[in-house]
Amino acid sequence: MKQQLLIPCLLAAGAFMASCNKHIYVPNTVNAPLLKEKYEFKGSVSPTNYQAAFAIANKVAIMANGQYVYRFDLDNDNDSNDNDLFVDKHTRGGVFEGAVGFFQPLDLKKRMVFDTYVGFGSGRFKTLDAAYNGDGSTGNVNDYLLKTRFSKFFVQPSIGFVHPVFEAAFSSRVSVLNFYGLSLGNKVFEDDSNRRDNFSKIGDKTRAFIEPAFTFRVGYKYVKFQMQFLFSLPVDDDTYSGYDVNEYFQPVAVGMGASINIAHWYDDFRKKDR
């Protein structure tokens, strides 16, 4: 079992270290609210992700998630150097999704919580071929665009610890995507017809991803700092004409932001400590 888990992680690490990858899918932050009671609200905000969850009844909740990726080129070098080990700096786009779920405290003090959500969404991403030069010397930017749209279904179980000061959660999201509307500018992979064909293969079938995430929140009561480490592991390892389709999917994401929680259990927690 350990070997089976290790292989996909090593594959993801290899993709993570590869340079010049063009990403047309960036996994959004996993929304792991760990709600405890009816009418509880939890939301989070980061530079690229916006999330909310609300308990409409005891043990039943709804959530909404939004993502918009826009990366600023801080070095402002105006050249075609895309050798970033972490992300494709030209990727733009995002996703919007909604879900309904079930939550259940696991102990009498309600510090351990399990929840699971099922949801749907849609999104789009675009990026630029490495041959594009930001100083305009390469011509029309549209000739270098890679674009795609997708629909998404996901199932997301989580388990975690919830306290007024600290929260930690492990989530194992399974995302199933259908890519469509794929397009390439005239000069994308201009001298490599095999790679152009490889890109079109992305939409040939449904793509599934296993996306484990570790979420941490630190603060006090209603407002906390949030950090998440997320891995996105494609279930299939397709290769066409020597090119790996999975190079178009970002394998790792790190998110940081603020979490807001409105709930009555904070008052009950204070009373129990007296």
The enclosing H or E element of 13 equals: helix 2-17
User: What distance in Å separates the CA atoms of residue 256 and residue 215, rounded to the nearest whole number?
Assistant: 10
Residue with tokens 């904070």: 266
Phi, psi of 16 (to 5 degrees): -60, -35
pLDDT of residue 75: 47
What is the total count of domains within the chain?
1
In tens, the pLDDT along 117-146 reads 999 999 999 998 887 776 565 678 888 899
Closest CA to 235 of 201, 207, 212: 207
Domain extent for 207? 2-273
In tens, the pLDDT along 173-187 reads 999 999 999 999 888
What's the CATH code of the domain at 73? 2.40.128
Are the CB atoms for 118 and 100 separated by under 8 Å? yes
Residue type, 234: P
pLDDT of residue 203: 87
In degrees, to the nearest 5, what angle opens at C-alpha 67 toward C-alphas 154 and 249? 65
Closest CA to 257 of 44, 26, 42: 44
User: What distance in Å separates the CA atoms of residue 105 and residue 260, rounded to the nearest whole number?
Assistant: 20
Which segments in the chain show pLDDT lower than 50? 1-3, 5-19, 74-76, 78-80, 83, 241, 274
User: What distance in Å separates the CA atoms of residue 188 and residue 149, rounded to the nearest whole number?
Assistant: 18
Phi, psi of 171 (to 5 degrees): -125, 150
Parallel/antiparallel/unpaired status of strands 41-45 and 252-262 = antiparallel
pLDDT of residue 193: 81
